[in-house]
Amino acid sequence: MESLRYSLQLLSLIFLLFSIWASAAQRVIPRLGVRRRTSKHEVPQTTSSFSSDIKIYYYTQTIDHFNFRPDSYATFQQKYAINSKYWGGADSNAPIFAYLGAEGPLDDDLGSIGFLSDNAARFKALQLYIEHRYYGNSVPFGTMKEALKNESTRGYFNSAQALADYAAVIIDVKKTFSAENSPVIAFGASYGGMLAAWFRLKYPHVVLGSLASSAPILYFDDIVPQDGYYSVVTKDFKETSQSCYETIRQSWAEIDRVASIPNGLSTLSKIFNTCRPLNNSSDLKNYLEYIVTGAAQYNYDAPRYLMSDMCRAIDGAANGTDTLGRIYGGVVAYKQNHSCYDVNEFSAPSETNDGWGWQSCSDMVMPIGHDTNGSMFPPSPFNLTENNDYCKKLYGIEPRPHWVTTYYGGQDIKLILRRFASNIIFANGLKDPYSSGGVVEDISDSLVAVTTAEGSHCLDIIVANSSADPHWLVRQRNKEIKIIKQWIAKYQADLLQLKQRIPV
Amino acid sequence: MESLRYSLQLLSLIFLLFSIWASAAQRVIPRLGVRRRTSKHEVPQTTSSFSSDIKIYYYTQTIDHFNFRPDSYATFQQKYAINSKYWGGADSNAPIFAYLGAEGPLDDDLGSIGFLSDNAARFKALQLYIEHRYYGNSVPFGTMKEALKNESTRGYFNSAQALADYAAVIIDVKKTFSAENSPVIAFGASYGGMLAAWFRLKYPHVVLGSLASSAPILYFDDIVPQDGYYSVVTKDFKETSQSCYETIRQSWAEIDRVASIPNGLSTLSKIFNTCRPLNNSSDLKNYLEYIVTGAAQYNYDAPRYLMSDMCRAIDGAANGTDTLGRIYGGVVAYKQNHSCYDVNEFSAPSETNDGWGWQSCSDMVMPIGHDTNGSMFPPSPFNLTENNDYCKKLYGIEPRPHWVTTYYGGQDIKLILRRFASNIIFANGLKDPYSSGGVVEDISDSLVAVTTAEGSHCLDIIVANSSADPHWLVRQRNKEIKIIKQWIAKYQADLLQLKQRIPV
């Protein structure tokens, strides 16, 4: 179970916020993120193999790169970590592997992101891990709570500013290590994967190439259908077991039915062994939705497969077990044995939930929803107007839902990028519901999709486990390593050729 | 003289501002810009051939694209102009030619920018001209004076925001004309040329390609030597006439010598026929520096060549004419006959001077200077610390001299862009001193340099004059037209192929 060091991480505050929003009380927003985290108390284990070689630094970062008001000159301390143990040095232009932090503290990632540490020796790479602004120790304006509370200080918290931060840090690190000619490869996963892809597009002079793991860069505006995410979850469960899918599909109405009879909530509390008596059926349904979507998104949880485990429990319950009893069995299979189940566990405030709550109401508006059309969930379409009203009420501003496509593009991506840009790997597991917003076909020779039919969210980038990882995952990583090697080789050849042409 | 409809435009406020700065009182910053403008009173003629078909519109533009503070949601009315007379329409995906306005009112450009109107019929192109924020009628916060006076409102005035403006306007125009599939070609000259090049790099999903005319995108940080500009001026004059060059080179010391003797300033006023008595010799030297650099930068002023005219006057003065008398002859040849000469004419406040004064103290820090090393000007090295102090004193903030290279790149441009990006024409006249900061060699098959040995600043993009334009200029334009045709043809083929592959 050693490879289980990444842990459950699913949305909580957003859900909580949405549940206080009457018209969308039932709303669950699937979380991005590399790891599942079962609760706020569960701290991820760190990878002892490289943590002792890692050194922590802080960079004095500009709060607003795109404005020249005096207050835009304010600074904050941005955390980054370096492991130079395997670095080949500036003389040989050895590469720099840069991990772009996402919506959480860097410390969590240092324990679970493995691609860099697993491959540093092979590439003689310097490892650099950079924390995203407003998370962990990289919070401007004192505390995150303070920064997010104030309608003026939270405005600086967005993806374009974060990318500029990464550029500034990487340029500084290259200077410090006299590594001006070292090629940089960026890595990111989930939201961080979007950042990695966009970083190569916007800052090609800073980064030679990017591995964007499970990056749903097309899940904005109307590029992909809003029910993409839930369609994949539904398809995943259907493929795992038709009867399991049917049981889940029927369970929502069954919960409503039981809830509506006298003492129904108490009955439900008993069936689902909840830690506290249920106040309403929505909490339970939302909890179950997180479990079901989480099972699909993080399906392969070495060495087990979550959807198979759940469906085995749901389908294999003793004869005569009713729908809700079967679903409860699925919950136990997913969560493993607990003395009781906390239906609000995903709603606990956390940096990730607080931060993403804001981000999804400013630039990161992902229109994820579902109607009755073939989904195994009760209808819950995404409504842009309602979403804007909700965000406005909560934060005083409306989101800018079209900004991501204005700034980063995404529409007609094949047409646009087949003759522009290079060196991005879009990695996706096709079991991952977020793959519905990912790039899953090659765009050009060097903008390539690496997909695995069995893969779920961000598997390629987490710490490898040579004894437990399935062959398809090993193959995916090897393919990525080979591509990155080619980028670097071509770059080194270019560099040599240009140097030789320069008259002395 | 019909092609003389573009007029003198050289720096004034910056010079004025610099002249109140004691330690750099002698400083002259060469101006960017398509046209020379002899004085603030000279209004450029408009091109009657297309002005009647042009319609003016306003777009409600966001003041700050990169922040989500409530005040970043403020808007202003951004002016743009459309000429749809020759447009082939959305059904045939006919192209859109988008001119990106630079540091001045759009109205001035509508009269002098000719590449779009001269070629619209041939390409069946929709012509779109967009004004740069904070100039002309596109000024936020009331008036430009107000907006620039306030240290908080002027912060939004920078190139990254301007590029985002252009993206928003173009996306909106495409929507309005149902022209989602129409390829857009961006055009810009001088500072606007930098914007055009950067726009293709940052917004490839908005613009298929860019013609960047006389765009010194490498004149930032330490990419090119700071004396590049003045070296070219010196070389230009040397090549025009060695004795002319010698006379100019000697004139500065001669002015100082005369100024230091009793009634020296009065003598100088008389020699140079100044409209008002000189208060100091610096005003005169700065004036002459503007004339000399302007002659090189805008050398070909159809049908005459300014440097040849000046040197013919300097060299051909009556026997016995002394150095200053010869220089005065050069001034008359350059400026043509006036009853007197206003040495402060380049210092008059104007939108361009006020606006660029700010821009060059925020993101557009171009380290242009010169030492004694082979320049025909008195030493005036660029000193970053002094520059920062000066800007800080004037605007309350220090410039961010490294931001342009952090955000747009430029260092090792060949190494970086040979395998990234496409479809930019870097056009330069090699007589233009700003070509020292331009891309004058091909980077790749589709990032190409189109240079002319005889050309000066932005000639290719101004209105063509078929009877007067020299063959090398005609050839340059034809080459550019051919390249743009190829971009569009390839795009149309891509579009067709992708459409056919999409399952119905």
pLDDT in tens, B197-238: 999 999 999 999 999 999 999 999 999 999 999 999 999 999
pLDDT in tens, B170-204: 999 999 999 999 999 999 999 999 999 999 999 99
Kindly report the nearest CA distance between residue A261 and chain B, in angstroms: 47
Kindly report the nearest CA distance between residue A86 and chain B, in angstroms: 26
Taking CA–CA distances from B493, the nearest residue in chain A reads A415
Reduced to 3 states, what is the DSSP secondary structure of residue A185? Answer: strand
Mean pLDDT for A63-74 is 98
Residue A365 has pLDDT above 70, yes or no: yes
Reduced to 3 states, what is the DSSP secondary structure of residue A161? Answer: helix
- The CATH number assigned to the domain with range B227-335 reads 1.20.120.980
Interface test with B, best of A59, A61, A64, A67 (most B CBs within 10 A): A67
Among residues 426-465 of chain A, which lie with CB inside 8 Å of chain B?
A: 446
Put simply, whether A58 touches B (Cβ < 8 Å) is: no
CB–CB of B406 and A164 under 8 A? yes
Residue B8 has pLDDT above 90, yes or no: no
Name the active-site residue from B19, B112, B236, B457.
B457
- CATH fold of the domain at A54-221+406-500: Rossmann fold (3.40.50)
Q: How confident is the model at residue B51 (pLDDT cuts 50, 70, 90)?
A: low
Q: How would you class A54 by CB atoms within 10 Å of its CB: exposed for 0-12, middle for 13-18, buried for 19 or more?
A: middle
Interface test with B, best of A62, A64, A65, A68 (most B CBs within 10 A): A68
- Report the residue from A68, A152, A423 with minimal CB separation from B155: A68
The pLDDT value recorded for residue B502 is 62
The pLDDT value recorded for residue A388 is 96
Distance CA B57, CA B82 (A): 8
- Report the residue from B68, B403, B498 with minimal CB separation from A158: B68
From the CA atom positions of chain B, what is the Rg in Å? 23
Q: What is the phi-psi region of residue B246: left when phi exceeds 0, alpha when psi lies from -120 to 50, beta otherwise?
A: alpha
Q: Do A152 and B58 touch, CB atoms closer than 8 A? A: no
The pLDDT value recorded for residue A51 is 66
The pLDDT value recorded for residue A45 is 46
CB–CB of A66 and B67 under 8 A? yes
Mean pLDDT for B280-295 is 96
Put simply, whether A202 touches B (Cβ < 8 Å) is: yes
Mean pLDDT for A107-122 is 94
Q: How confident is the model at residue A60 (pLDDT cuts 50, 70, 90)?
A: very high
Among residues 388-407 of chain B, which lie with CB inside 8 Å of chain A?
A: 396-398, 400, 403, 405-407
CA angle A447-A452-A457, nearest 5°?
90
Which of chain A's residues have a Cβ under 8 Å away from the Cβ of B362? 68
Which of chain B's residues have a Cβ under 8 Å away from the Cβ of A416? 204-205
Residue A39 has pLDDT above 90, yes or no: no
Taking CA–CA distances from B152, the nearest residue in chain A reads A69
Interface test with B, best of A66, A363, A492 (most B CBs within 10 A): A66
If one counts every other C-beta atom within 10 angstroms of the C-beta of residue B453, the result is: 8
Put simply, whether B328 touches A (Cβ < 8 Å) is: no
The pLDDT value recorded for residue B166 is 98
The pLDDT value recorded for residue B18 is 36
Q: How confident is the model at residue A248 (pLDDT cuts 50, 70, 90)?
A: very high
Return all residues near A115 (Cβ < 8 A) that are at least 6 apart. A97, A187, A211, A460, A461, A462, A477, A480
> Could you tell me the CA-to-CA distances from B151 to A116, A121, B157 in Å, in that order?
44, 51, 11
Burial A147-180 (b: 16+ CB within 10 A, else e): bbeeebbbbbbbbbbbbbbbbbbbbbbbeebebe
DSSP B320-352: T--HHHHHHHHHHHHH---SSB-TTGGGS--HH
Give the number of beta-carbon pairs within 8 Å between A and B.
158
Which of chain B's residues have a Cβ under 8 Å away from the Cβ of A407? 65, 164, 167, 203
The pLDDT value recorded for residue A31 is 77
Taking CA–CA distances from A397, the nearest residue in chain B reads B70
Q: Do B233 and B242 touch, CB atoms closer than 8 A? A: no
The closest of B84, B165, B90 to B127, measured between CA atoms, is B84
The answer to which of A356-365, B34-43, B89-98 has the lowest mean pLDDT is B34-43
Kindly report the nearest CA distance between residue A160 and chain B, in angstroms: 7
- Residue B466 is among the residues annotated as catalytic for this protein: no
Put simply, whether B140 touches A (Cβ < 8 Å) is: no
> Could you tell me the CA-to-CA distances from A259 to A266, A267, A279, A280, A341 in Å, in that order?
8, 8, 10, 8, 18
Mean pLDDT for B91-119 is 96
Q: What is the separation of C-alpha B260 from the centre of its chain, rounded to a whole number of angstroms? A: 37
The answer to which of A42-46, A348-352, B143-147, B386-390 has the lowest mean pLDDT is A42-46
Put simply, whether B420 touches A (Cβ < 8 Å) is: yes
Q: How confident is the model at residue B374 (pLDDT cuts 50, 70, 90)?
A: confident
Q: Which residues face B449 on adjacent strands? A: B426
CB–CB of A419 and B495 under 8 A? no
pTM: 0.93
Q: Which residues face A130 on adjacent strands? A: A80, A100
The pLDDT value recorded for residue B228 is 95
- Residue B172 is among the residues annotated as catalytic for this protein: no
Which of chain A's residues have a Cβ under 8 Å away from the Cβ of B417? 204
Which of chain A's residues have a Cβ under 8 Å away from the Cβ of B162? none
Helices (H), A7-142: 13-19, 48-51, 106-112, 115-123
Q: Do B330 and B250 touch, CB atoms closer than 8 A? A: no
Taking CA–CA distances from A208, the nearest residue in chain B reads B416
Mean pLDDT for B299-312 is 95
Q: How confident is the model at residue A26 (pLDDT cuts 50, 70, 90)?
A: very low
Mean pLDDT for B241-248 is 98
pLDDT in tens, B317-348: 999 999 999 999 999 999 998 999 999 888 77
pLDDT in tens, B416-449: 999 999 999 999 999 999 999 999 999 999 999 9
Residue A5 has pLDDT above 60, yes or no: no
The pLDDT value recorded for residue B36 is 59
Residue A504 has pLDDT above 80, yes or no: no
Name the active-site residue from A7, A182, A190, A360.
A190
- Residue B190 is among the residues annotated as catalytic for this protein: yes
**What's chain B's average pLDDT?**
91
Q: How confident is the model at residue A32 (pLDDT cuts 50, 70, 90)?
A: confident
Higher-scoring residue by pLDDT: B35, A336: A336
The pLDDT value recorded for residue A13 is 32
The answer to which of A42-56, A294-308, A349-363, B302-316 has the lowest mean pLDDT is A42-56
- Domain limits, chain B: 54-221+406-500, 227-335
Residue B150 has pLDDT above 70, yes or no: yes
Mean pLDDT for B57-63 is 98
Which of chain B's residues have a Cβ under 8 Å away from the Cβ of A133? none
The closest of A241, A151, A162, A149 to A199, measured between CA atoms, is A162
Residue A101 has pLDDT above 90, yes or no: yes
**What's chain A's average pLDDT?**
90
Which of chain B's residues have a Cβ under 8 Å away from the Cβ of A160? 65-66
Q: Do A442 and A448 touch, CB atoms closer than 8 A? A: yes
Put simply, whether B221 touches A (Cβ < 8 Å) is: no
Kindly report the nearest CA distance between residue B321 and chain A, in angstroms: 45
Among residues 251-310 of chain B, which lie with CB inside 8 Å of chain A?
A: none
- Report the residue from B70, B158, B203 with minimal CB separation from A151: B70
Q: How confident is the model at residue A28 (pLDDT cuts 50, 70, 90)?
A: low
Mean pLDDT for A474-478 is 98
The pLDDT value recorded for residue A24 is 34
Put simply, whether A490 touches B (Cβ < 8 Å) is: yes
Which of chain A's residues have a Cβ under 8 Å away from the Cβ of B419? 422-423, 446, 490, 494
Put simply, whether B410 touches A (Cβ < 8 Å) is: yes
